[in-house]
């Protein structure tokens, strides 16, 4: 659907509205194999709205919302996995979160397999991986247009993380098994860091000192020192790692393990696994609530969505969701 001028203006206002404008938090989930966008109440894990994506064969893998929690962006990646033959998605679908209704489209000039979106809070721009072009695209949410790009220097740049000062961006390059380092203000590629023959997903510590990525060839988490952009440590895991997310207090890192029925908890002072959380098998992605009390995770293998109490490190809610659920985003309650 084509957005109207009024609708675009409304989305632009929502994106940059004061943070204290939304009353309810919402948990957003995209599921790949039925190509759906879901909106949940994070307290009860009750679905409050859902919609089919408009990409035909192309499915959304990741999702992000505006700071006021009103609008969601879902890049439509394609119909295959990273590095595999298939279609190349060419747009981002925009949804109204309250109703899950599609309200607009952000188009790329050709198929780019757009994947992971993150906010650059220093500029208000949306950064989105665009794998086919070996870039991270810079999207202006006001105009709903692509306004620039940052080269990653590698293929299959799948996931990204931005340091708190907004200066350096890191991408996990799956098939090459490397991490790229980029200068965001200069929109320049700086270097690649070899990890292994295959790596997955990426995050950083809250203080920006460390970047974390999961080696897919051995059960190790790789820790990168962001001052030197070199590998500082490899942390042994109970299984091959996948996605990661730091807790709000900065003391721990949650590490999903696709082949294990558990999430590992790494102490960021000792840089060791100190406990694990029993979960359904096949957890890929995890997010932490802004208040630091809960984490939410999706199992692509079992089609489950879970809520984890970070005080007890136990699953307190477990529901079924769409087929092959992946990307998650939690809006903040104001």
Residue 33 lies in a domain: yes
Is residue 116 in a domain? Answer: yes
Q: Is residue 288 part of a domain?
A: no
What was the pLDDT predicted at 332?
A: 81
How does pLDDT run along the chain (334 residues), one tens digit per residue?
Answer: 444 433 444 444 344 333 333 458 999 999 999 999 999 999 999 999 999 999 999 999 999 999 999 999 999 999 999 999 999 999 999 999 999 999 999 999 999 999 999 999 999 999 999 999 999 999 999 899 999 999 999 999 999 999 999 999 999 999 999 999 999 999 999 999 999 999 999 999 999 999 999 999 999 999 999 999 999 999 999 999 999 999 999 999 999 999 999 999 999 999 999 999 999 999 999 999 999 999 999 999 999 999 999 999 999 999 999 999 999 999 986 5
Task: Establish if 1 belongs to a structural domain.
Answer: yes
The string of DSSP codes covering 251-273 is SEEEEE-TTSSEEEEEETTTTEE
User: What six digits make up the tokens of 103?
Assistant: 């309200």
Output the pLDDT for position 5: 39
> Would residue 209 count as lying in a domain?
no
What are the Cα distances from residue 175, in Å, to 22, 190, 324? 40, 19, 22
- 160 in a domain, yes or no? no
29: domain CATH number is: 2.130.10.10
Q: How many domains does the chain have?
A: 1
Domain around 67: 1-151
In this structure, are residues 327 and 334 in contact, taking their beta carbons and an 8 Å threshold?
Answer: no
Residue 19 domain-assigned?
Answer: yes
Q: Tokens standing for 277?
A: 């959380």
Predicted TM-score (pTM) of the model is 0.92
Give the CA angle between residues 251, 255, 261 to the nearest 5°.
130
Helices (H), the chain: 5-15
Distance CA 294, CA 287 (A): 9
Structural domain includes residue 3: yes
């Amino acid at each position: 659907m084509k957005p109207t001028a009024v609708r675009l203006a409304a989305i632009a206002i929502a994106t940059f509205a004061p943070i204290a404008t939304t009353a309810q938090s919402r948990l957003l989930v995209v599921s790949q194999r039925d190509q759906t966008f879901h909106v949940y109440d994070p307290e009860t894990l009750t679905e409050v709205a859902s919609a089919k994506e408009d990409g035909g064969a192309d499915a959304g893998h990741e999702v992000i919302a505006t700071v006021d929690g009103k609008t969601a962006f879902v890049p439509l990646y394609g119909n295959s996995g990273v590095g595999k033959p298939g279609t190349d998605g060419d747009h981002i679908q925009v949804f109204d979160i309250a109703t899950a209704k599609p309200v607009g489209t952000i188009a790329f000039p050709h198929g780019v397999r757009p994947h992971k979106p993150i906010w650059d809070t220093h500029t208000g721009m949306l950064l989105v991986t665009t794998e086919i072009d070996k870039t991270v695209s810079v999207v202006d949410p006001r105009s709903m247009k692509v306004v620039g790009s940052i080269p990653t220097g590698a293929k299959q740049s799948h996931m990204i993380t931005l340091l708190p000062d907004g200066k350096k961006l890191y991408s996990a390059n799956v098939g090459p098994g490397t991490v790229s380092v980029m200068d965001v203000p200069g929109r320049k590629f700086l270097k690649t860091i070899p990890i292994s023959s295959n790596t997955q997903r990426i995050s950083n510590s809250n203080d920006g000192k460390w970047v974390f990525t999961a080696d897919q060839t051995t059960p190790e988490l790789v820790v990168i020192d962001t001052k030197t952009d070199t590998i500082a440590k490899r942390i042994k895991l109970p299984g091959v790692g996948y996605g990661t997310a730091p807790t709000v207090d900065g003391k721990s890192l949650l590490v999903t393990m696709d082949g294990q029925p558990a999430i590992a908890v790494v102490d960021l002072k000792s840089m060791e696994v100190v406990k694990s959380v029993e979960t359904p098998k096949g957890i890929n992605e995890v997010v932490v609530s802004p208040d630091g009390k809960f984490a939410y995770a999706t199992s692509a293998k079992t089609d489950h969505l879970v809520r984890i109490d970070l005080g007890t490190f136990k699953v307190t809610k477990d529901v079924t969701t769409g087929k092959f659920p992946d990307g998650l985003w939690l809006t903040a309650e104001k």
